Structure 1
Amino acid sequence: MIKETLDSNGKGKLNDKKIAILKEHFPNCFSGGTLDIEKFKKEINQDIDFSSEGYEMNFLGKNYAKYIADSIDTESVLVPDVEHNSKSENSKSENIYITGDNLDVLKHLRKSYSGKVKMIYIDPPYNTGGGDFAYNDNFRFTKKELQEVLDIEEQEAERILNMTSSNSSSHSAWLTFMYPRLYLSRELLKDEGVIFISIDDHEKSQLQLLCDDVFGEGNRLGTIIWKKKTNGNNMGYIPPVHDYILAYGKSVTEESILGFPLTKDEIEAKYKNPDQDPRGPWDTMDLSANHEGPYFPIKNPKTSKVYYPPKGRYWVFNETEVKKRIEDGRIIFGKSGNVGPVQKVFLKDRTNLRKKAESWWDKHGMNEDGTEELEELIGTKIFDHPKPTELIKNLCSISTKEDDLILDFFSGSATTADAIMQLNANEEGNYHCKYILVQLDEKVKKGSNAEKAGYKTIDEIGRERIIRAAEKIKESTGADIDYGFKHFFAKELNESAIDQIKEFDPNLLASELEVEFDRDTILTTWMNQDGHGLTPSVEAVNLDGYTGYYVQDYLYLLDKGLSQQHIDNLLSKIVEDKNFNPTSVVVYGYNFTDFNILTQLETNLKQLRNEEKSIEVSLIKRY
């Protein structure tokens, strides 16, 4: 089932994907497979500075982290929790909870959810040196393999392997741990998406530099200082009572406002009509932006004074558009007519009216609130400092709106799911966001209250919290919202199974593979791989006694026993049934031990192209 992944992992080199993109778009700049940088400079010809020196963040393991993020696919499978998912409250839910290593899960998610997540919130390990973080990955590289894929010296390869296998808590280890997760986060975000990251003083500076590197310094939205407790318990030279929440966008524009929706009174106070403009109430907005754009003088027709954009900024409109807007009164020179040009924006044209969130948050819940909330739901104190729902609700409020998708891949006690359900159940009924939560099945501490309460792993606590929070919210509000969630496990294979898959030869189908994947696991993993996500509608299709699984335009044939009779029925259905239009038929190769059947299926599907309807259906064989 994952043979293709196992075969490809470890064969590429760092930046292979980026080089492939350059080859696709600039083939004339390559000679013998090597990029001719001088030709490339001339080709783009945008006065870009290619100087050899410049400011950048480097740390031991950075190229390794890049390689892990971009060139190594997950070797795990997604196993659905069939019993949980079939319950009435969960069967149609669009919320998702995944148990597993979040790096593996992010690699699964990129296949269906890239560019679809509006907001990510994470509360990663803070690396205080007190045992809350220790890096230890499970990638099986030898020193020689690492030298080859990263093109590095033996000594550096040895240092990286030592760091990644020795429970290191150094800054480099923490950054190597965080880099691929942030890299994949950026892929998952929508263009207007935002990520919030909680952190304390120990790694705040390093995290900001890392985020500048991954998201771009120009996409830094700011930093929230959140007061998490009333006193610092006399810890440290200056006892801290706050955490930081770093905010970055994927592609920041002047519309990337992080703000609370304006109330009716605030809207009326902001948008007035002092000059009785027939177009209605209006306010002013900056005419310049910090991203590259038009740069030219704008002349005030009344005073003849000339204005340029402020230093480092550009006009948001070209000269033709500026002239047009001055003539129709949509660009004015202040309300007095004697200052720099600004846009005149009308209330009727605004769809996202918000009051900018400020950097100091001292009325958004504290640690003790989060502790009490969880204790009330679970019945005992399990975590010391879970984030309060009030904090997460406010982060959601300033960055999301109806039907957005929110991701938390260090979900811990599942505060994020609780907060989203509370928002969804609000009286206005205009907020219907969905969530994806990810949590490692990390064992609870021996002798802890969690263990005494019967919990074995952190993810068990998180799922139980969601169930109990849903019951409480439903009882108190009666709101008709999605209270359920689909549950999946990201399951890694043991080395014995991996060896069998690697050695299996699809050209010798008579050989038997002892590693068996159940149908639900195969279907879940492949549906997601093919871009259908984890909560699509699946139709069981009866092919004269053989069952296929139809998802959007893909038909999955996963069971043993396919015969020519079933193939004939499939072909007839494709030709005759107007509601059945698969473009791809995917077969589970291990269950098709007869070459003749596979060959016949492929031949018959090709023949459809020669029919009058010229139907194109491709056959995909996977192992």
Structure 2
Amino acid sequence: MIEKLKMQTPNITEQNMEQIAKLFPNVMTETQDKNGNVKKALDFDLLKQSLSSVLVDDADERYRLDWPGKKASLLKANTPITKTLRPCREDSVNFDSTENVYIEGDNFEVLKILQESYLGKIKMIYIDPPYNTGKDFIYKDNFAAKKADYEEELGTTDEEENKLFRNTDTNGRFHSDWLSMMYERLIVARDLLKDDGVIFISIDDNEVHNLRKICDEIFGEENFVANSIWQSRTSISDDHEISMNHNHTAIYAKNKNNLKFYGEKLNESEYQNRDNDPRGPWKLVPLDANKPGGDTNYPILNTNNNKEYFPPEGRSWAINSKDFKKLLDDNRIAFGINGERAPKKKLFLLERLEKGDTKTPSSILLDAGTTKDGSNELNTLFERKKIFSYPKPVDYLSRLIQYGIYSEKNQIVLDFFSGSGTTAHSVMSLNALDGGDRKFIAIQLAENLDESLLKASDDAKSIIKNSISFLDSIKKKHLLTEIGKERIRRTGTKIVEDNQDKAGIDKLDIGFRVYKTGSSNMEEVYYHPEQLSQDNLFSLASNIKEERTPDDLLTQVILDLGLELNLPIEERTMHSNNVFIVQTNALVACFDDNINIKIIDEIAQLKPFKVVFKDGSFSNSKDRINLEERFKRLSPETLITVI
């Protein structure tokens, strides 16, 4: 093919726009040139907001979705926070060895906290956010307007005394509040995805149109994969003009060019070996495609009947004539069973199996369970009539995980609206099925449960042995997170019981580490030293809050150093000091007040990448100097840090 020279210097502006679009896909828009033609353009105000620490105002019209609070939401997404995570060992299972994580707290804050440690590391995200039906969306009061004019107060607070409100349809910002909530979370979540990662978002008809618009902006319209339709119920409801029996699943890639999307297992019965090809069974697939242009409209001659074939009208051949000749010479082209039809390409079963190919999935899911199945799964697990409203079934989540990470069995699945814990349940079930090592990170706000669920089944006969204390805990705390954690515990136990004879089941990770969001472990003066006055200078014996434990400090150090929360942790005693060792030698930390200087040599022998101590752990400057000198001699590559 002969290419026509452009005869001009490169368009640097377009190149710069492409680079900006890779970093900030949400700033791409459309505008008109002087001739009225539509062209791609940059929304400079949104770009300025993305790079600004203050609110940027503008009043220009352009093609985009706008709502009150959008810029404030973008500013919030780009503003650092000083929150951290605090470990909760008593709620965890196999805390030191498990690679699964369950986090209680506002998911926006948690996503911000995880930004450093999981930047570009998450293969798949699934979320089932509030559908904004007027009763399912709970959020914090962080708006300046008078809430009495807009919201119905729940009268509850979160763990840090922030008031929680329900987004009712009487709210003057009913859609705007939902959009802001989703926008800021998806902006942060996108950065966590790997370059070949994918996000699945469940939604119904209430906000699917708005969700698509903000996802097009955040992920880029070109990275839209599909809007999959899931049959969420089979029974007919007569409370609407049309019974709503489906939900949407909006699917977006981080970078569609790198996306490997998996489907169902190949149907081997479709492959036959009609010509005794030594490469084994094959099937035919069309050779034409909707890709006109270039050397793709050439005639193909069938030498058996001397007949020429051209692509169907409006289409072209999927390959050029040179590549077609290679396939023909390699006996990869056939003209139908009897040689009388248009040419098609042979696909060999063994070659496809070796490459890990799967059957392309349909955009309609009719066989992935229903919410009734999800309820039955949960009710069976807890032996109660009703414990959670409309949970997603394991079949549905397993199917999505199969699409996103089917053959990559060691990837991380993130769910930051984890609800009853179906995603975590599905990850463990799939690992038990195929020996995978997938990990989950589940995030859930500690919100109140619907009181009607607590009264659904209190009959002692319907409660399995040892579950009364759990139900008492639920009724006392009224927290959705208690359901999620208990479900994961019971799921892990049941999977092991049901697969006792299966090889390797004893190595299945059925544990999870529980963390809860909290304020920083450091005193405020650590972040704002200008607030320190001479009067309180000597009252600050430590820059660490008194009630914080070594576990608390270790977690914040792990996050600040950009390490993942699922790394194995070992505790050792060295010369009467408690020492944490994270993933063999990725990090070694000691937060004791008085450190025995003899532990330095023992730590240095581990050749750690990083070591961390408290600033006040050494009794004098001589010990600090000795610390640095010993590491320089025994482990010169180690980075030494103090808090």
Q: Which residue number corresponds to residue 125 of structure 2?
A: 120
SS at match of 1:356: coil
The question of whether the paired residues in 1 share the 8 Å contact of 2:99 and 2:568 is answered with: no
Q: Which residue number corresponds to residue 615 of structure 1?
A: 636
| Distance across 2 between alignment mates of 1:288 and 1:194 | 29
The question of 1:347 aligning with 2:355 is answered no
Does the C-alpha gap of structure 1 residues 132 and 306 become closer, same or farther in structure 2, counting only changes over 3 Å? same
Does the C-alpha gap of structure 1 residues 326 and 482 become closer, same or farther in structure 2, counting only changes over 3 Å? closer
The question of 1:66 aligning with 2:74 is answered yes
Does the C-alpha gap of structure 1 residues 208 and 570 become closer, same or farther in structure 2, counting only changes over 3 Å? same
Tell me the CA shift for residue 532 of structure 1: 3.1
Does the C-alpha gap of structure 1 residues 216 and 573 become closer, same or farther in structure 2, counting only changes over 3 Å? closer
After superposition, where does 1:477-496 map in structure 2 within 5 Å? 477-478=499-500, 479=502, 480=505, 482=508, 484-493=510-519
Amino acid at match of 2:383: G
Q: Which residue number corresponds to residue 209 of structure 2?
A: 205
Tell me the CA shift for residue 286 of structure 1: 7.7
Amino acid at match of 2:591: L
Tell me the CA shift for residue 534 of structure 1: 1.8
| Distance across 1 between alignment mates of 2:580 and 2:42 | 55
Amino acid at match of 2:481: D
Tell me the CA shift for residue 206 of structure 1: 0.4
SS at match of 2:238: coil
Q: Which residue number corresponds to residue 13 of structure 2?
A: none
The question of whether the paired residues in 2 share the 8 Å contact of 1:94 and 1:485 is answered with: yes
Does the C-alpha gap of structure 1 residues 582 and 384 become closer, same or farther in structure 2, counting only changes over 3 Å? closer
| Distance across 2 between alignment mates of 1:56 and 1:281 | 51
SS at match of 1:376: helix
Give the one of 158, 171, 176 matched to 2:180: 176
Deviations 1:283-303 (A, max 9, x none): 566889999x99665756758
The question of 1:515 aligning with 2:545 is answered yes
The question of whether the paired residues in 2 share the 8 Å contact of 1:307 and 1:340 is answered with: no
| Distance across 2 between alignment mates of 1:474 and 1:103 | 34
Does the C-alpha gap of structure 1 residues 490 and 573 become closer, same or farther in structure 2, counting only changes over 3 Å? closer
Tell me the CA shift for residue 436 of structure 1: 1.6
Deviations 1:367-397 (A, max 9, x none): 2222222222223312221122222222223
Deviations 1:117-168 (A, max 9, x none): 3322211111012x22144355999xxxxxxxxxxxxxxxxxxxxx9xx977
The question of whether the paired residues in 2 share the 8 Å contact of 1:506 and 1:589 is answered with: no
Q: Which residue number corresponds to residue 570 of structure 1?
A: 600
Does the C-alpha gap of structure 1 residues 484 and 91 become closer, same or farther in structure 2, counting only changes over 3 Å? farther
Tell me the CA shift for residue 60 of structure 1: 2.6
Structure 2: which 5+ runs fail to align? 1-15, 21-38, 44-60, 146-166, 459-470
Q: Which residue number corresponds to residue 154 of structure 1?
A: none
SS at match of 2:264: strand
Give the one of 487, 492, 497 matched to 1:475: 497
Does the C-alpha gap of structure 1 residues 573 and 432 become closer, same or farther in structure 2, counting only changes over 3 Å? closer
Q: Which residue number corresponds to residue 163 of structure 2?
A: none
Tell me the CA shift for residue 343 of structure 1: 8.2
Deviates more, 1:594-603 or 1:493-502: 493-502
Give the one of 599, 608, 612 matched to 1:582: 608
Q: Which residue number corresponds to residue 378 of structure 1?
A: 382
Q: Which residue number corresponds to residue 198 of structure 2?
A: 194
Q: Which residue number corresponds to residue 553 of structure 1?
A: 586
Tell me the CA shift for residue 226 of structure 1: 1.9
The question of 1:465 aligning with 2:513 is answered no
The question of whether the paired residues in 2 share the 8 Å contact of 1:76 and 1:493 is answered with: yes
Does the C-alpha gap of structure 1 residues 254 and 490 become closer, same or farther in structure 2, counting only changes over 3 Å? closer
Does the C-alpha gap of structure 1 residues 557 and 237 become closer, same or farther in structure 2, counting only changes over 3 Å? same
Does the C-alpha gap of structure 1 residues 620 and 450 become closer, same or farther in structure 2, counting only changes over 3 Å? farther
Q: Which residue number corresponds to residue 560 of structure 2?
A: 529
Tell me the CA shift for residue 97 of structure 1: 1.3
* Identical residues among aligned pairs (%): 30
The question of whether the paired residues in 2 share the 8 Å contact of 1:91 and 1:486 is answered with: no
SS at match of 2:443: strand
Deviations 1:589-613 (A, max 9, x none): 36568555445534654xx2xx5x8
Give the one of 390, 403, 407 matched to 1:398: 403
Deviations 1:471-514 (A, max 9, x none): 33333332515363223223222999646753477997983247
Give the structure-1-normalised TM-score.
0.72
Structure 1: which 5+ runs fail to align? 1-21, 27-47, 142-162
Tell me the CA shift for residue 169 of structure 1: 5.2
The question of whether the paired residues in 2 share the 8 Å contact of 1:382 and 1:450 is answered with: no
Does the C-alpha gap of structure 1 residues 371 and 405 become closer, same or farther in structure 2, counting only changes over 3 Å? same
The question of whether the paired residues in 2 share the 8 Å contact of 1:414 and 1:466 is answered with: yes
The question of whether the paired residues in 1 share the 8 Å contact of 2:107 and 2:443 is answered with: yes
Amino acid at match of 2:607: N
Alpha-carbon RMSD across the aligned residues, in angstroms, is: 4.5
Amino acid at match of 2:187: Y
| Distance across 2 between alignment mates of 1:305 and 1:112 | 60
After superposition, where does 1:26-425 map in structure 2 within 5 Å? 49-50=40-41, 55-69=63-77, 71-85=78-92, 91-129=96-134, 131-136=135-140, 138=142, 170-253=174-257, 256-262=260-266, 266-269=267-270, 271-283=271-283, 302=301, 322=323, 325-326=326-327, 329=330, 332=333, 347-348=350-351, 350=353, 351-380=355-384, 381-401=386-406, 402-425=409-432
| Distance across 2 between alignment mates of 1:334 and 1:518 | 73
Tell me the CA shift for residue 519 of structure 1: 0.5
| Distance across 2 between alignment mates of 1:540 and 1:355 | 47
